[in-house]
Structure 1
């Protein structure tokens, strides 16, 4: 039984796989398996992996099932106690896996670890994980002294026990999301259950940001807004929801104004209408999530907008 499973989701990303899988083969940590989940690629990705990286376990989906379902399949098939969700457009430093494992091993309360993601062509920080703003948005953390609310899904290291503990409707990532805000939703559920998150600042991942999907496409705007609404509905506890209601309302108004100015009023309205179409389902999920909640609202609120290593260490 391996200790770690690395799940790489791929959709027509053959040109990235040599960097990604090649860097995995050069790791100085060896107790891991690689699972490549292919979402119906037509560029020869599967044949390329089987020929050049025969140790990787390949799972072929007949069509593009999205980030959420694709990774859920990989997690379900994983054998490790830890699971590393990794974008295909990445390259790992040779000590990356070792550093991630060391941080996760340091305390059983840690259910999530963020890698240090740098832009591929420079040493500038892409993200050190996600912080949550009071109005429901997430932002990338850029400073190492902040502890992330949860990892970015591009390089998210999870304890398998945490994934099982937060599983909902047989999903790890919410399959309704397809892509975007799924890492935020999973991280929120984990935080509500009392799981902690840490940054492994020596676990370096180089990321060709935007290679798999460009920024601010119509699809990104639509899915990001819709999924963010679902995440808020499902996860914000009653007291915190009331306390942040003004911020959350202003967010909805501001998003409509912003995209109306940009000439996309129908797109942003569609995202909100479609979010409401599954309101009953998300409210049922909310009931389950909130019934499992362990963290106090005051403790949860302290996690918003980042918090600092020195403040948190004493609680572990």
Structure 2
């Protein structure tokens, strides 16, 4: 078997449903399997999986065992030559795995491959590619020096700014939302370190692979949608675990003076506090218009009932819709994409092309009774049942 996709879920049932749908489509031309590990969800994630995806291997843990252990359990059950660690709040394009597999097979010293990630508004997520967060690199991140001096290399290592978002190349650290690597290599380094509950596990795994002399890559030729705010609520618990995670990584891999360790802990505290405040849901303006791209006009009435506003129906005509005059007239509109006719890859392309133009986006996954999306990467997103 070529590929095992491991999806660790914790109570994000609707995002999980959309994610598994997208992975199934992306595996149609790949010999692969999907393994969903549920970490003791309190919602009906497992019921949904049994009902809608009975063919998918589901491992049910009785409690939340954390990101590292949950994924290690999934990999232990995997049969693929390669594995992909994938967050449940992601959407992959139909050709994502084919492209990544083809790239991986050309590398002689392959470590981990990561891909271009965008958020629910179509904006690039800079954590798609990162450098090793040495004390100095972490300092430049905490102090925001990478923003102030974007052309000075000593300040831009945290987000691996030697590579553009549209440029494939070697990087040090990749994000746990999408990590593709040989299964044997994952097992060789011992997988994710279970002493870390979450947050620095992807950094640690990437660093361990580097220490084995392997090359990690950022691969830009496929884009994955990552809602990001959905897997973790950025609250006081987040701040505590983020501090613990960074402390874990430094104590494991670096020796620093007492003074610098104290300074870094203060920096981590203020950085995690900023992330907590950043994660609070922002007040969003209500869309002034809803545009449904579909082939099913009956959906209009259903959406109008739940949204309480007029919904304009637009027959989907492919990517050429992006340049239509209708879009130019509808600044501030919410675009609803019906996955029955709009592929996941096309959804991703549309988000990227129309980012920062005043639109928000939602997707109706194929054969589902809800629409789903997120207007920025700091909020939990929105689920709205429509049937």
In the superposition, the TM-score normalised over structure 2's length comes to: 0.59
1:234 to 219, 240, 252: 252
Shift of 1:249: 5.4
Residue 222 of structure 2: SS of its match in structure 1?
Answer: strand
Q: CA deviation at 1:115?
A: 1.3
Q: Distance in 1 between matches of 2:54 and 2:73?
A: 20
Point out where structure 2 has 5 or more consecutive residues left out of the alignment.
142-157, 277-387
CA gap 1:166/1:245 in 2 versus in 1, 3 angstroms: farther
1:49-198 equivalences in 2 (<5 Å): 49-135=49-135, 137=138, 139-141=158-160, 143-144=164-165, 145=167, 147-167=170-190, 172-198=191-217
Aligned to 1:273: none
Q: CA RMSD in A?
A: 2.6
Is the CA contact 2:132–2:207 (under 8 Å) kept in the aligned structure 1? no
Q: What is residue 21 of structure 1 aligned with on the other side?
A: 20
Distance 2:3 2:268 in 1: 40
Q: CA deviation at 1:246?
A: 7.4
1:221 aligns with 2:220: no
The secondary structure found in structure 1 opposite 2:174 is coil
Cα deviation for residue 180 of structure 1 reads 0.7
CA spacing shift, 1:3–1:245, aligned 2, 3 Å: farther
Contact 2:239 2:273 in 1 (8 A): no
Aligned position for 2:348: none
In the alignment, the residues of structure 1 paired with residue 273 and residue 106 of structure 2 have an alpha-carbon distance, to the nearest angstrom, of: 49
Matched residues in 1 for 2:253 and 2:92: separation?
32
* Deviation digits for residues 16-48 of structure 1 (CA, Å, limit 9, x no counterpart): 122201111111532110000011123211121
Cα deviations across residues 247-272 of structure 1 (Å, max 9, x unaligned)?
6553234345x38998x9xxxxxxxx
Q: Which residue of 1 aligns with 2:41?
A: 41
Cα 1:206–1:80 shift into 2, 3 Å? same
Residue range with higher mean Cα deviation, 144-153 or 109-118: 144-153
Change (3 A) 1:112 1:53: same
* Structure 1 counterpart SS, 2:228: coil
Equivalent residues of 2:243, 2:265 under 8 A apart: no
Partner residue of 2:221? Answer: 202
Structure 1 range deviating more: 47-56 or 192-201? 47-56
Q: Is the 8 A contact 2:68 2:196 kept in 1?
A: yes
Alpha-carbon deviation of 1:206? Answer: 0.1
SS in 2 for 1:127: helix
Name the CA shift for 1:61/1:133 in 2 (closer, same or farther; >3 Å): closer
User: What CA distance in whole angstroms lies between the structure 2 residues aligned with 1:254 and 1:12?
Assistant: 31
Query: Relative to structure 1, is the Cα distance of residues 13 and 233 closer, same or farther in structure 2, using a 3 angstrom cutoff?
Result: same
Q: Point out where structure 1 has 5 or more consecutive residues left out of the alignment.
A: 265-316
Cα displacement (A) at 1:74: 0.3
Choose 1 or 2 for highest CA Rg: 2
Cα displacement string for residues 146-196 of structure 1 (whole angstroms, at most 9, x for unaligned residues): 6321220011112112112211xxxx1111211110001111111111111
SS of aligned partner of 2:232: coil
TM-score normalised by length of structure 1: 0.72
SS of alignment partner, residue 26 of structure 1 = helix
| Closer/same/farther in 2, CA of residues 117 and 245 from structure 1, 3 Å limit | farther
Distance 2:94 2:272 in 1: 46
Higher normalized helix content (fraction of residues): 1
The number of aligned residues is 251
